[in-house]
Chains A and B, each alone.
Chain A
Amino acid sequence: MAKLSLTKAAARARRILLLALLGGGAAVASIETAAAQSPADVVVLAGPCASCHGPDGRSPGPIASIAGRPQTVLLEQLKAFKSDNPPPGTTVMSRLAKGYTDEQLAALATHFSKISATAPAADAAKKKGK
Chain B
Amino acid sequence: MAQSNISRRQALAMLGGAGAATLTLSMPAIAQQSAGRVVVVGGGFGGATAARYLKRGNPKLSVTLIEPAKRFYTCPFTNLYFGGLRTFEQEGHNFDDLRRVGVQVVHERANDIDTKAKSVVLSGGRKLPYDKLVLSPGIDIRWNAIEGYDEAAAQRAPHAWQAGPQTTLLKKQLDSMPDGGLFIIAAPDNPFRCPPGPYERASMVAHYLKTKKPKSKLLILDAKDNFSKQGLFQDGWKKFYADNLEWVSRAKDGKVVKVDPKTLEVETEFGTKHKAAVLNVIPPQKAGAIADRAGVTNQSGWVPVKPQTFESTQVPDVYVVGDATIAAPMPKSGFCANGQGKVAAAAIVETLAGRPAPTASWANTCYSLIAPDYGISVAGVYSVVDGKIVEAKGGGVSPREAPDSFRKLEAEYGVGWYNAITQDTWGSRPAA
Contacts and interface: CB of A to CB of B under 8 A. Distances in A.
The answer to whether A and B belong to the same complex is yes
Interface in A47-94: 47-55, 59-63, 89, 91-92, 94
Contacts of A97: 394
B322 interface: no
Nearest to A53: B420
Interface in A4-52: 37-38, 40-41, 43-45, 47-52
A41 B357 CA distance: 9
A100 to B, nearest CB: 6
A50 B416 contact: no
Nearest to B359: A41
Nearest to B45: A51
B410 A62 contact: no
A92 B395 CA distance: 8
B381 A99 contact: yes
Contacts of B53: 47
B421 interface: yes
A113 B421 CA distance: 21
Interface residues of A, number: 31
B136 to A, nearest CB: 16
B417 A63 contact: yes
A76 B419 CA distance: 27
Contacts of B283: none
Nearest to B335: A51
Given A92-B379, A99-B392, A52 B410 contact: no
Given A47-B343, A51-B363, A96-B394, 15 more contacts: A41-B358, A44-B360, A48-B338, A48-B361, A51-B338, A51-B417, A51-B420, A54-B423, A59-B416, A62-B413, A96-B379, A98-B381, A98-B393, A99-B380, A99-B391
11 contacts: A45-B361, A50-B421, A55-B423, A61-B416, A89-B409, A91-B413, A92-B377, A92-B413, A94-B394, A96-B395, A99-B391
A89 B412 CA distance: 13
A95 interface: yes
A87 B26 CA distance: 54
Interface of B: 53, 335, 338-339, 342-343, 346, 350, 355, 358-365, 377, 379-381, 391-396, 398, 406, 409-410, 412-413, 415-417, 419-421, 423-424, 429-430
Given A52-B416, A95-B379, A96-B395, A47 B421 contact: no
Contacts of B377: 91-92
A61 B393 CA distance: 28
A97 B393 CA distance: 10
A61 B421 CA distance: 11
A5 B343 CA distance: 41
In this complex, the member of A40, A45, A91 whose beta carbon has the largest number of chain B beta carbons within 10 angstroms is A91
B420 A60 contact: yes
Contact of A54 (B342, B379, B424): B424
A27 to B, nearest CB: 23
A53 B412 CA distance: 13
A99 B365 contact: no
Given A41-B359, A43-B346, A48-B362, A60 B394 contact: no
B392 A100 contact: yes
A106 to B, nearest CB: 15
A54 B424 CA distance: 6
A98 B391 CA distance: 11
A98 B338 CA distance: 21
A42 to B, nearest CB: 9
A83 B396 CA distance: 16
B410 A38 contact: no
Instruction: Give me the 10 closest cross-chain CB pairs, A-B, nearest first.
Output: A98-B394, A99-B381, A99-B392, A48-B363, A63-B416, A61-B416, A40-B358, A61-B419, A47-B342, A62-B416
A96 B358 contact: no
Given A44-B342, A61-B419, A92-B377, A99 B398 contact: no
A51 B395 contact: no
Given A47-B342, A54-B424, A95 B396 contact: yes
A116 to B, nearest CB: 15
Contacts of B429: 60
Contact of A91 (B346, B363, B394, B398): B398
A94 B335 CA distance: 18
B409 A63 contact: no
